[in-house]
Chain A
Amino acid sequence: MPTSPDSVTHCPPEAGQARPRLAPSALNWLGVVPFFLFALLFLILPTATLMIGAFQDANGHFTLGNIAKLFDDSILSAYWISFEVSAASALGGGLIGLLLALAAIQGGLPGWIRPTLMTFSGVASNFAGIPLSFAFLSTLGRMGLVTVLLRNYADFDLYSTGFSILSFIGLTLTYLYFQIPLMVLIVTPAIDGLRAEWREACESLGGSSLAYWWHIALPILWPSILGSTLLLFANAFGAVATAYALTGSSLNIVPILLYAQIRGDVLHDQNLGYALALGMIVVTGLSNAGYIWLRSRAERGRE
C-alpha cells in the first residue's frame, strides 16, 4: 500500500466492520439512508402533504370541495391554456428538435455541425426563465427588434395582426426556444443507437431508404420520440419564471395562478392552492408515467 499511509491508519477498525460481503444487508442499507432521508424530507413529504391538503378544508376535515373548485370556469380555462401552450410547444419542439438532430447526426453534414449543435443545445435548453423572457421582449415585444424592423422597413405592424408576446402564440414561440434544444439533447442518444448495419442489412435485402425509415428506424425510435415529447410537455407545464417575467400575472395559466395564489396576490384560499398543485402533479405525472413506460419499452428492444 504505497499511497497515503495517513488515510489508512485511522481506518482499519471501520473497514473491518464494513467489509464483510456476507454480512446481513442491514449495513448495506445504511449506505443509502442519507439519500432516502433527503428525498423523503425535501421531495416526497412536501408533495404528499399538498396532496392530502387538497382533500381537506380549512379545519382539516375531509372534503372534495377543493377539487370541485378546480372545475370552475376560470380555473378550468387556466388548465386548458396551460395544456395548449405545453402541448403546442412540446409537439413543435419535439418535431423540430427531432429533425434538427436527425439532420446533424445522419444528414451527412460537415463534422463540426454536430458538436456545435450539442453545445448550443446545452446552453439554450438551460437558457430558460427570466433572461429568456427579456430576450424575447427585446425581439418580439412592442419595442422589439423584429417588431421595429418590420414596422420601419416592411411597413408591417406585427401587433395589428393581433399578435402579442403575451398571447398563446407568443408564449409558445418563447417556450420553443428551450424546448427544441431540449429535444435535441434527449433524443440524440436514441438516434445514435440506430446502427449502421441495420441500414445496410435492409439495403442488402432490397429495402429502399424509405423502407428503412418506415419499417426499421421509426419503429425503433418512436418510443423515444413520443417519450421525449411527453417530457417536454411536463417541462412546459410546470414552468413559471418565463411566463411570469413575460406577462406578469396577466396570463391565466396554472403555474402563474398558483404562484399568485401562494404569494397571496389574488385570492387566498390555501386548500384551493393545494388542489391546484395536485392538478399539476396529476397532469405532469401522467405524461411522465407515459415517458417512463415508453422508455422502458424502447430499452427492452435493444440488444
Chain B
Amino acid sequence: MAYLTINNLHKRFADHVVVHDFNMNIEQGEFVTFLGPSGCGKTTVLRMIAGFETPTSGHIRVGGEDITHQSPQKRGIGMVFQSYALFPNMNVTQNIGFGLKMRKCDSAEIARKVAEVIKLVELSGKENHYPHELSGGQRQRVALARALVVEPRILLLDEPLSALDARIRKNLREQIRDIQRRLGLTTIFVTHDQEEALTMSDRIFVMNQGRVEQEGRAEMVYTEPATEFVARFMGNYNLLGAADSQRLLGLSINGHLAIRPESIHVLDAHSQQADTLAGTIRQHQLLGNIIRYQIESAGVTLQVDRLNRTASDLMPAGTEVRLQISRDDMREVR
C-alpha cells in the first residue's frame, strides 16, 4: 500500500464544490507535483492534507493511519507557505527552532539540529537576522528549514518559489530537490509553472477545476497528454478538432488530435514524398534556439518548431512548403 493515500476527497465551500473526487497514492520518498491553473484547487487539497481544512467527504491516510480528522499539530506534516509565514517576532534561529521547542526538545538538541539545517539550506551567518532583514530567497529558505528540522513525515510546498525572480528560482528549486533526495522526504510540491513541474518531479498530477485530469511520470504527461486540457496546458500542442483533422489528414476522430510543434517536418515545396501537405508560411517567431513558424495549410494554422541553426535557415513569410507529420506523432485526446 502506498505511503500517502487519498480517497474520494471532496471539498465544498458554501455552495460551490472546489475539489471533486480527488484520488491519489504516493510512495515514500517520492516527489510529486500538483500542476494546474490558478484557482483549480491545488492549495485547497494541500490544506486538507495539512489539516487546515476539513474535507466535506473522503479520506486521507498516511502509512495506513487515517488522519482525515486529526488536528494539524499531530499530523507531523510540514508545510512551506507561498507567503513564507515566518514569525516576524523571531529571528532565523528562533523561527527554525520553534517546532522543536513545541516538541519539548532540550535546548542543546534544538541548537544542534538548527545549526545543522541552517548549514543545509546555506544560511550560515544569518542566524540572528529577523525576517524583515532577509531577502525573499533567504526567507523562503528559512521557511523550508523550519519545516524540515522537525523531520516531517510529509513535506508540503505551496508555490514556494512563485514570489522569487527567475534566477533565484532555478537555484532554489535545485536546492530543494537535492535536499529532498538526500533526506528521502515524501514531498508534494504545488506550482502552476509547467517547466518547474517537469524539471523537479517524479510524478505530476495535472489538475483542472478540482479534478485530476491526468497523472503520470513527468516525461509521460508531456509527451502523452490524455486530454485536450493537458495538451494545451503542458506544451504548445497543435489541437485539431474533428472537422479539421478530417479535412486536413482524412482522419475521423472523437475529441481532438494533438500534434506537437517539433514533430512536424518542413520539406521544400518540390518534395516528392508521399503523405505530405501543402502549406504557406505566414509568420515566424524567434525563440532563441528554436524558430516557431505559423504555417497555414488548408485553412488551418499550425505551429511548427525548427532548430535555429544558421541565419540562412530562416524562411520568410509567403514561402511555400510541404509538411510531413508521422502518424505516430498524432495523439487523439479527449
A binding-site residues for B, Cβ under 8 Å = 195, 197-198, 200-208, 211, 215-216, 219-220, 300-303
Contacts and interface: CB of A to CB of B under 8 A. Distances in A.
A204 B103 contact: no
A301 B85 contact: no
Contact of B89 (A197, A202, A205, A220): A220
Nearest to A218: B89
Contacts of B75: 204
B12 to A, nearest CB: 19
A203 B88 contact: no
A301 B78 contact: no
Interface in B126-177: 130-132, 146-147, 150
Contacts of A197: 81, 83, 85
A104 B130 CA distance: 31
Contacts of A211: 102
A206 B73 contact: yes
B50 interface: yes
Interface in B8-67: 50-52
B107 interface: no
Grouping DSSP codes into helix (H, G, I), strand (E, B) and loop, the A interface class, with mixed when no group exceeds half, is helix
A193 to B, nearest CB: 9
Given A200-B52, A200-B79, A302-B132, A205 B98 contact: yes
A199 to B, nearest CB: 9
Contacts of B51: 203-204
A204 B72 contact: yes
Nearest to A220: B89
B72 A200 contact: yes
A203 B72 contact: yes
A195 B85 contact: yes
Contact of B103 (A206, A302, A303): A206
Interface residues of B, number: 31
B132 A201 contact: no
A197 B77 CA distance: 15
B7 interface: no
B128 to A, nearest CB: 15
B77 A204 contact: yes
A201 B102 contact: no
11 contacts: A200-B79, A202-B98, A203-B71, A204-B78, A205-B78, A206-B74, A220-B88, A220-B89, A301-B89, A303-B131, A303-B132
B83 A205 contact: no
Closest 9 CB pairs of A and B: A205-B99, A197-B85, A203-B72, A206-B102, A219-B89, A201-B85, A207-B102, A301-B88, A204-B79
A206 B99 contact: yes
Contacts of B132: 300-303
A290 B127 CA distance: 30
A208 B73 contact: yes
Contacts of A201: 79, 81, 85, 87, 146
A198 B85 contact: yes
Given A204-B52, A205-B146, 12 more contacts: A195-B85, A198-B87, A201-B79, A201-B81, A202-B102, A205-B78, A205-B102, A207-B99, A215-B101, A220-B87, A301-B89, A303-B132
A303 B136 CA distance: 11
Residue in A204, A207, A220, A302 with the greatest tally of chain B CB atoms within 10 Å: A204
Nearest to B98: A205
Contacts of B147: 204-205
A206 B81 CA distance: 16
A107 B226 CA distance: 47
Contacts of A204: 50-52, 72-73, 75, 77-79, 147
A300 B131 CA distance: 10
A207 B84 CA distance: 17
Nearest to A216: B87
A198 B98 CA distance: 12
Contacts of B77: 204
Given A208-B73, A301-B132, A200 B102 contact: no
Nearest to B87: A216
Nearest to A301: B88
A213 to B, nearest CB: 13
Contacts of B103: 206
Nearest to A205: B99
A300 to B, nearest CB: 7
Interface in B82-137: 83-89, 98-99, 101-103, 130-132
B150 to A, nearest CB: 6
Contacts of B86: 303
A46 to B, nearest CB: 40
Contacts of A219: 89
A198 to B, nearest CB: 6
A200 B99 contact: no
A207 B98 contact: yes
Nearest to B131: A303
Nearest to A204: B79
Contacts of A206: 73-74, 76, 99, 102-103, 150
Nearest to A197: B85
B208 to A, nearest CB: 26
Contact of A207 (B73, B78, B85): B73
A302 B51 CA distance: 27
Contacts of B85: 195, 197-198, 200-201
A197 to B, nearest CB: 4
Nearest to B101: A215
A300 B133 CA distance: 10
Nearest to B94: A215
